[in-house]
Amino acid sequence: MRESDKIAKAANEIILESISDGVFTVDHNWRIMSFNRAAEEITGTRREEAIGRYCWEVFRSNMCEGDCALKRSMKEGKSFVNSSTYIVNNRQKRISISVSTSPLKNEKGEALGGVETFRDHSLVEELRRELKGRFQIGDMVSYSKAMQKIFNILHQVAESDSSVLIEGETGTGKELMSRAIHSLSLRKEEPFIAINCGALPDTLLESELFGYKAGAFTNAEKDKPGLFSAAGMGTILLDEIGDTSSAFQVRLLRVLEEKEYQPLGSVEKIKTNVRIIAATNHDLEEMVLKGEFRRDLFYRINIIRLHLPPLRERMEDIPLLVESFIKKMNRMKGRSVSSVGREAMTVLLAHDYPGNIRELENIIEHGFVLCSEAEIRLSHLPAYLIRTEPSKLPEHHSSMGESVQVTEEMKILEALKRNHYNRTAAAKELGIHKSTLFRKLKKYHISLPEMDGRSSRF
Amino acid sequence: MKIAITVWGNRISPVFDAAQTLLVAEIRKAEIVSRNIKMFQAGVYSRFIKLLEELEVEVLICGALWDEPATLLEASGVEVIPFITGDTEAVLSFWAKGMDLMEYRMPGCPHCCCRRRS
C-alpha cells in the first residue's frame, strides 16, 4: 500500500471514530465487519461483541424483519437516505433513529456488502417533549392563550392554599384542573376527593361530606366518618356547587369560615384543615344577582376564580389533545395506535364539540374500538360526526395548517351570516378584534355583500 | 408447561414489536410434546397478552423487547425472557432441558435478561 493510501485510510478511521453517527458495515452474509464508536454508544453493544454477529442481533431495529433498508440497498445497488425507524438498545429503551444505507464496493466496483449509518434522535425527541411540557400541566395539555394564562399561574395558585372556584362548561376538564392544583400543592401526599354535589339530595350530601353518628337516623347503626374526615389534610372538590340548595350553602359556609364541621347526630364539632375547590358549569356571579346562589358563600369560595374555556374556543388544541388521548389509551389498552389520519383530523377540526373535551376523548375511544391499524381513519369515527359535517368537509387538505385554515374560514362565514354581515358583531362573537377579522377576510378572499348589517341599506 | 417463542423463519424474531409468528410448544418432563404456529398482530399488546392467556402460555422467549411492553407482559403473569437470538429449535430444546439461555443472548445485553426464574 502506498504511503498516501495509508494516510487516507488512517484519516478515514479517525473520521469514523469521531463522528456522532453510528456506522457499521456487513458482508454478504449479514455479518458485521466494522462497527464505529458511535454505533457502540447508540446500541449499547461493544465492538468486540458486535463484529462477526448478524446485524439484526446487534442493531435490533423494527425494520430488520420486514422492510430492511440495507437489504434493499444491497439488492438494488442503490443508496437510501433518512428512513425513520427505532431500535431497542441494551437497556431495553426504544431509541428513535434515522437510517441511511448504501451498497459497499471495492475499488474495482465489486460488491463487498453494505454500509449503514444511523443517527440517534433521542435528544431531539427529549427536546420536543420538554417543549411540549410547557404546554402541559398534570394531564392537561393546551396551546391556547386562555389556558396558557391559567397554566402560568397554576403553581402559585396550588401553593397558596386558598379556596379556588373553577368555572367551565361540562366536559372542559374541571376535575382534571382540580387534580392538577392538588398535585402541585403541598398537600399532594394527602388524599384528593371529588364529590358531585348536584347528584345528591341535601341530607345525603351532608352525611357523605360530614359523616354521621350511630342513631342519627333510621338504619344509622354505627358511626360513619364523612369525606371531610377521609380527606384529612388533603383537598375536596365540590363539583356542581351551583346546584346545591340554599340550606346546604349555609352549612358549607359555616364549615369554611369556622374550619370545623358537625357530623349528623353529633353535638361535637370536629376541626378540619381540608382545602376546598369548588367547580360549576353555571355562572355563579349571575346566579348571585338572580338570588339563586348565596352571596356570602360566593365571596368565600371566589378567592381565586379560574375559567376553563370550552373546546370550540380552543380548537387549536385538538391535535394536541388527540395525541394525548392516543398516548393515554395506548397505555391503558396496550395498543400502538400512532395517530389520526388526515381526513379524520379534518372532521375533528370541523366539529363544534357541545360535550367539550370529554366528547373528543369519547370520539378517540370510539376510534380505538374500531381501529385495528396504526392510524385512526374516517371510517373509525362515530357516524354522527360524518353525517352532520359533510357540507363542512373540505375536499382534500394536505396539511394540518390547511385544515385549520379551512375551519377558520368556515367559522368566520358562519359568524358573518348569523350576524347579518355585521363585521363588528361577527368579530365580537368570534372573540377577535375587528381589524383581525378584516385581515382574515382579506386572507381568505371572503367577499361581503353590500348589506353590512349596521343598517337596512342595500 | 407451554412456552411461546416469537419466530422469524427458523430463527427467533430480532425485535418483539415486529414479530408476526408465534411458536407455541408444550413441554412435559423435559420433552417437547407438541408444537403449534400462531399468527399475531405485532404492536397490539393487549391482544397478544389475551392470546397468551388463551393458549395458557407460561413463558415467552423473544428477541429485543423495550421496557413498556415488557412491563405489560410481566404484569400479565407471563415469565418473559427477552433478548434471545439464534435457531428456534436449538433454543427450545435448550430450554426444555432446563438450561439457561446465556449462550443465546443478544450481543451487548445484560446477562440477567436471559435467565429463567428459579
Shortest CA gap A19–chain B (Å): 21
Q: Taking CB atoms and an 8 Å limit, are A65 and B18 in contact across chains?
A: yes
Report the distance separating Cα A133 and Cα B76, nearest Å: 31
Nearest CA in chain B to A41: B108
B63/A60 touch (CB, cutoff 8 Å), yes or no: yes
Q: Are strands A224-225 and A270-271 parallel, antiparallel or unpaired?
A: unpaired
- Does residue A338 belong to the interface with chain B, where contact is any CB pair within 8 Å? no
Q: Please tell me what DSSP assigns to residue B80.
A: E
Residues of A in contact with B83 (CB under 8 A): 90
> Testing the interface with B: which of A24, A29, A57, A331 to mutate, by most B Cβ within 10 A?
A57
Q: How far is B85 from chain A (nearest CA, A)?
A: 7
Distance CA A29, CA A55 (A): 9
CB contact under 8 Å between B17 and A372, yes or no, is no
Closest-CA residue of chain B to A66: B18
Q: Could you tell me which chain B residue has the CA closest to the CA of A94?
A: B66
A positions 132-161 inside 8 Å of B (CB): none
The complex's ipTM?
0.92
Closest C-alpha to A72, from A105, A114, A26: A114
Contacts of A88 in chain B (CB under 8 A): 15, 64-66
Count of A–B CB contacts within 8 Å? Answer: 82
Cell numbers standing for residue B16: 418483539
Burial class (CB in 10 A: 0-12, 13-18, 19+), B98: exposed
> If you average pLDDT over residues B44-61, what whole number do you get?
90
**A177, A167 contact by CB (below 8 A):** no
How many Cβ atoms from other residues are within 10 Å of residue B43's Cβ? 21
**Nearest CA of chain A to the CA of B1: how many Å?**
26
Per run of 10 residues, the mean pLDDT along chain A (length 458 residues) is 78 89 95 95 94 96 89 91 89 91 88 93 78 76 87 90 92 92 91 90 87 78 86 93 91 91 87 93 92 93 93 90 89 81 90 92 92 83 74 50 70 78 80 80 71 40
pLDDT of B52 > 80? The answer is yes
What's the rounded Cα separation, in Å, for the pair A137 and A154?
9
Rounded Cα gap, residues A384 and A377, in angstroms: 15
Q: Which residue of B has its CA nearest to A46?
A: B108
Tell me the three cell numbers of residue A263. 357530623
- Do the chains contact at B15 and A90, CB–CB below 8 Å? no
Identify the closest residue of chain B to A85 by CA–CA distance: B18
Query: How many Å from the N-terminal Cα to the C-terminal Cα in chain B?
Result: 15
Q: Render pLDDT for A22-73 as a digit per residue (tens, 0 to 9).
A: 999 999 999 999 999 999 999 999 999 999 999 999 999 988 988 899 999 9
Domains with residue ranges and CATH for chain B: 2-114 (3.30.420.130)
Interface test with A, best of B102, B106, B113 (most A CBs within 10 A): B106
Give me the domains of chain A, ranges plus CATH numbers.
3-121 (3.30.450.20), 134-309 (3.40.50.300), 312-393 (1.10.8.60)
Residue A239 φ then ψ, to 5°: -80, 150
Torsion of Cα atoms, B58 then B64 then B69 then B72, to 10°: 30
Cross-chain residue pair B45–A46, CB shorter than 8 Å? no
CB contact under 8 A, B13 and A65: yes
Test B13 with A57 for CB contact under 8 angstroms.
no
Report the chain A residue with the minimal C-alpha distance to residue B43.
A336
Helices (H), ranges, A20-62: 37-43, 47-50, 55-59
Question: Residue A65: its chain B contacts at CB < 8 A?
Answer: 8, 13-15, 18-20
In this prediction, residue B106 has a pLDDT band, given cuts at 50, 70 and 90, of very high
Percent of chain A with pLDDT over 70: 91
User: Dihedral sign, CA of A8, A9, A15, A20?
Assistant: positive
CB-based contact B66 A88, cutoff 8 Å:
yes
**Pick from A297-306, A381-390, B80-89, B94-103: least confident:** A381-390
Nearest CA distance, A97 vs chain B (angstrom) = 15
CB–CB contact B45 A335 (8 Å): yes
Among A45, A66, A94, select the one facing B108 at the smallest CB separation: A45
Residues of chain A numbered 65-94 and touching chain B (CB < 8 Å)? 65-66, 87-88, 90, 92-94
